[in-house]
Amino acid sequence: MLKDKIFIQIASYRDPQLVATIKDCIANAKHPENLVFCIAWQHAPEENIDEIKSLSNVKIIDIDYKQSKGACWARNQIQQRYNDEEYTLQLDSHHRFVKDWDELVIGMYKQLQERGYAKPLLTSYIPSFDPDNDPAGRTQVPWRMDFDRFIPEGAVFFLPASIPDWKNKTEPVPSRFYSAHFAFTTGQFCKEVQHDPEYYFHGEEISIAVRAYTHGYDLFHPHKIVVWHEYTRKGRTKHWDDHSGAKREEIVDKKDWGQRNSECHKRNRVLFSMDGENHNTIDWGIYGFGKARTLRDYEKYAGLHFGKRAVQQETLDKKYPPNDFQKYNTDEEWEKSFTSVFKHCIDIQTSQVPLDDYDFWCVAFEKNEETIYRKDCDENEVKQLKNAGENSYIKIWREFDCEKKPDKWVVWPYSKSKGWCDKITGKL
């Protein structure tokens, strides 16, 4: 083992923030001599990183962006270059760092080990910074990750939130979830919980969270700020920008990002045996669950039920894990403690609702052509939605309890002058 060395993993896709991120990481490290960077540099011919390319502690995997297969594929490429460093830190390529960040995070890690956690994993949606207003725009409160929803495709989405009473915390707080843009732990993680290259984007973080937990890792959020992350993607070309529509004709394998993402969603549902899928239809190899704990152990810890797409109230109430599963006398009682919350954002184009005199919009969710939930937009909500429309889209959020996952949404506008207008629908 290369004692004290930190293997820093950065998958970067055409990101103008990459050089600034590496320079800031080195400048603010207590022991920069212990940093070993490995960057999956996915770039166009005209893009360069000459300022960092010659650094002795920076390994570059040089990838033409047309060859890239997505974030998880790139992260997997990096993990193959792990060389027995004591620690690893996974980041995105748009970060800023506190002074002596390396000493701070290693101190948290060792503190947790002294508490009896053999393999702590420090991870979170970390606080934000704004490159156009830096350092003034840096959030000064540490964040955690809370449950948001199961999306229709099956993946779990999270929301960042401030850690309550963080100034009085003396150690990291327990986490249910994993963030791909900040994760610090033992370097062996690069071997034990490698990113599945068949994943594309969605499903990445929940799959790694559960796989890590089943491999014996304990998840925590840092109680102090270590790093800042830029969330807006402003000024950065995204993988799906280059790998969709007519542009994909330039890509080596011609595969549209949407197809790749759909295949990823399917793989994620099979991993978790969701919607009747059979986990055993895929030979998962090193990309499956570990043997230290089971999927059910994670579900009891986190208060999630993948088979039901369901969640416990403790999790909705944002209480720290583990959930109190010992209060249930039987598995049947535990199963009944879950609620299936469906939360979804309907996106419709502003061009689909061009009139200015709508009385209301019927908003419904259906299963096999049967309405299972309906909550209409009244005239005031319609006006608010139209005024708040962004990038030619209007977003209608709805949340409700349901036993059956809907397969379709319907928005049916009614106009004072035209009456019933064209029905707008979308598959789920």
pLDDT score, position 286: 97
Main-chain phi, psi angles of 361, to 5 degrees: -120, 125
Q: Is residue 288 part of a domain?
A: no
Kindly report, residue by residue over 129-162, the tens digit of the pLDDT. Answer: 999 999 999 999 999 999 999 999 999 999 999 9
Q: Write the CB contacts of 83 (distance below 8 Å, at least 6 apart in sequence).
A: 2, 7, 36
Answer yes or no: are the C-beta atoms of 25 and 55 closer than 8 Å: no
Taking the CB of residue 369, how many other CB atoms lie within 10 A of it?
7
For the chain, give the secondary structure using H, E and C.
CEEEEEEEEEEEECCCCHHHHHHHHHHCCCCHHHEEEEEEEEECCCCCCHHHHCCCCEEEEEEEHHHCCCHHHHHHHHHCCCCCEEEEEEECCCEEECCCHHHHHHHHHHHHHHCCCCCEEEECCCCECCHHHCCCCCCCCCEEEEEEEECCCCCEEEEEEECCCHHHCCCCEECCCCCCCEEEEECCHHHHCCCCCCCCCCCHHHHHHHHHHHCCCEEEECCCCCEEECCCCCCCCCHHHHCCHHHHHHCCCCCCHHHHHHHHHHHHHHHCCHHHCCHHHCCCHHHCCCCCCCHHHHHHHHCEECCCCEEEHHHHCCCCCCCCHHHCCCHHHHHHCEECEEEEEEEEEHHHCCCCCEEEEEEEEEECCEEEEECCECHHHHHHHHHCCECCEEEEEEEEECCCCCCEEEEEEEECCCEECCCEEEEC
**Do 203 and 63 belong to one domain?**
yes
**Do 346 and 225 belong to one domain?**
no
Domain boundary among 195, 214, 229: 229
**Do 87 and 211 belong to one domain?**
yes
Kindly report, residue by residue over 369-405, the tens digit of the pLDDT. Answer: 999 999 999 999 999 998 886 668 899 999 998 878 8
Kindly report, residue by residue over 193-207, the tens digit of the pLDDT. Answer: 999 999 998 999 999
Q: Is residue 308 part of a domain?
A: no
**Do 210 and 351 belong to one domain?**
no
* Total domains, the chain: 2
- Percentage of the chain with pLDDT > 90? 89
**Do 223 and 359 belong to one domain?**
no
**Do 224 and 350 belong to one domain?**
no
Q: Is residue 256 part of a domain?
A: no
Q: Is residue 366 part of a domain?
A: yes
- d(CA 414, CA 423) in angstroms, rounded, equals 10
**Do 59 and 205 belong to one domain?**
yes
**Do 225 and 346 belong to one domain?**
no
> Which residues does residue 159 pair with via DSSP β-bridges, in sequence order?
146
Its domain, for residue 43, covers 2-229
pTM of the model: 0.90
Q: What CATH number is given to the structural domain containing 92? A: 3.90.550.10
Domain boundary among 229, 248, 276: 229
pLDDT score, position 252: 79
pLDDT score, position 93: 97
Residue reference for tokens 């920076």: 58
Determine if the peptide bond prior to 322 is cis (ω within 30°): yes
**Do 41 and 168 belong to one domain?**
yes
Kindly report, residue by residue over 350-363, the tens digit of the pLDDT. Answer: 999 999 999 999 99
Tell me: pLDDT of 165 over 90.
Answer: yes
Q: Is residue 151 part of a domain?
A: yes
Average pLDDT over residues 271-292: 97
- Residue 22 tokens read as 């590496």
Main-chain phi, psi angles of 61, to 5 degrees: -95, 105
Q: What CATH number is given to the structural domain containing 417? A: 2.60.40
Q: Is residue 216 part of a domain?
A: yes
Domain boundary among 229, 262, 281: 229
Answer yes or no: are the C-beta atoms of 85 and 7 closer than 8 Å: yes
Average pLDDT over residues 232-257: 82
- d(CA 290, CA 214) in angstroms, rounded, equals 5
Q: Is residue 89 part of a domain?
A: yes
pLDDT score, position 391: 67
pLDDT score, position 390: 65
**Do 363 and 221 belong to one domain?**
no
* Lowest-pLDDT choice from 256-265, 276-285, 293-302: 256-265
Kindly report, residue by residue over 28-38, the tens digit of the pLDDT. Answer: 999 999 999 99
Q: Is residue 392 part of a domain?
A: yes
